[in-house]
Every structure is written in structure tokens, then in C-alpha cells.
Structure 1
């Protein structure tokens, strides 16, 4: 009975550990990941936006289809405002003494391609945790 209880506790903690935050809506601008909330705060730099569901992602966004399970909004930035802070996930891993090719979790969504660029504005809280026996970076967009 104890083994069953321990197994249940381990499984529950693993499920909670990597739970996806469905309230965060991802956005993309110039092939760089951000959030809709981030762009809503910077409306003055946005030229246009278009929302996509997972079913109608354009070819340029298909590589993110496993992450954008709730769809995504693509933003066009006004000319001259493209210089927002950005960083690659591999670089973030390096800053946290994690191998560059280890996946990174953002709001519970796993990004396996560490060449992916993200806007610095979505770095609310970062934590290094053990995931499947490897040091892994977990990012929360909320501060």
C-alpha cells in the first residue's frame, strides 16, 4: 500500500512540476518569442497583428506547433523599433551553467530548439530545476 501511495505522490508532483500555464498567450515578432501581454504594453511599436489557431499556422510558425497548442499571435513591429532586447535559449542556459542544448521550459511549455530567440521582456522569473535527471531552466513570464 505504501508503494502505491508513494508512486501516486511522485506521479502527481511530476505532473504539477511541468504544468503548462494556459493563461499565457504566446506571440511572435520577427521570429522571436514573446507574449501577447508584452506587446499589449508596447502598443506604440506594433504595426499590425494577426492571431492564428494551431490548425492554420503559416509555414514560418509550424516549427513551434508543439508549443503553440492554444494558437499564437504574430506581430509586425514598426520600422525602427525592432531593437527590443532578445536572447537565445542556449545563451540563457549558459548563463545558468546548464549545457546549451538542454531544453528550456517557458510557462510549462518545452522548447527543445535552444537556438530559439525570446524577448527579454518575458523573463519574469527563472529557476534551475532537475528534470529527468538534467539541470533544466524554467522561465515564468510573470514577475
Structure 2
């Protein structure tokens, strides 16, 4: 029984740590790893430690960033990364534009939400409550 419990705990922690931490730059969803890889273009603006501390512009993400989020800014104020809305991603994959999208298990209902496509390591279409839904994973 102990071996089974330990196996479950190891698998759970591996799954948890396999996901990359989501972050925001210019009101667009990315990952901490993406922004750290682009250090010459990015700088940390602010770290919010809880959903309650999010500024008004990020409040719409409070259900996703329950443990807070790191906000980045582009140096010189110029974004050089590609951006797509979730509606565009849905359309690209033959899904209704207004369908929700899951990113690393977090539900994004607003199809106007923008992401940096570079965060997509793996994706799939699955049925969710009778609707075809797009799932994005930031790790393979």
C-alpha cells in the first residue's frame, strides 16, 4: 500500500512540475520560461502574489492566476513576438471561434484572450461537455 501511495505522489508531483508557469506581457498570455529565454527583449515589471492583488487590467485572469502571476514588459515598449487570439486558434483548428480553450488545465472562456503561440508545445482537440474544445499544453 505504501508503494502505491508513493508512486501516486511521485507521479502527481512530476505532472505538477511539468507544467510551465504562465505569465503575462502586454495583456498577452505566455510563460515565465518564454520570457526568461527572451531576456534581451523583456524585463520583469511586477510580481503579484495572489489573485486579489492583481491590477484592474489583469483581474479577468483572477480565476487562472489564483496564486498570483509575474507580469513582464517589453524593453523599449515594442513587442516583437507573434500574438494570436484564442478565437483565431480555434478557427485555425476548425472549432467555433467562441469556444473556450484550456491552457495547461486552466479554462479560458474569453476567445479574445491573446497568447504567444510559442508557448504551445503540444495541443489536441477533445470533446468537452459536447463541444469540440482545444487544449494547449506548454510542455510535451
TM-score (normalised: structure 1): 0.81
Could you list the structure 1 runs, at least 4 aligned residues long, displaced by more than 3 angstroms after superposition.
19-23
Distance in 2, Cα, partners of 1:22 & 1:66? 21
Aligned length: 125
Query: 1:49 aligned to 45, 49, 59, which one?
Result: 45
TM-score (normalised: structure 2): 0.82
RMSD of aligned Cα (Å): 1.9
Distance in 1, Cα, partners of 2:124 & 2:16? 15
SS of match in other structure, 2:112: coil
1:109–1:101 distance in 2 versus 1, CA, 3 Å: same
Unaligned runs of at least 5 residues, structure 2: 1-14
Distance in 2, Cα, partners of 1:110 & 1:66? 9
2:29 aligned with 1:33, yes or no? yes
Distance in 2, Cα, partners of 1:99 & 1:122? 22
2:55 aligned with 1:58, yes or no? yes
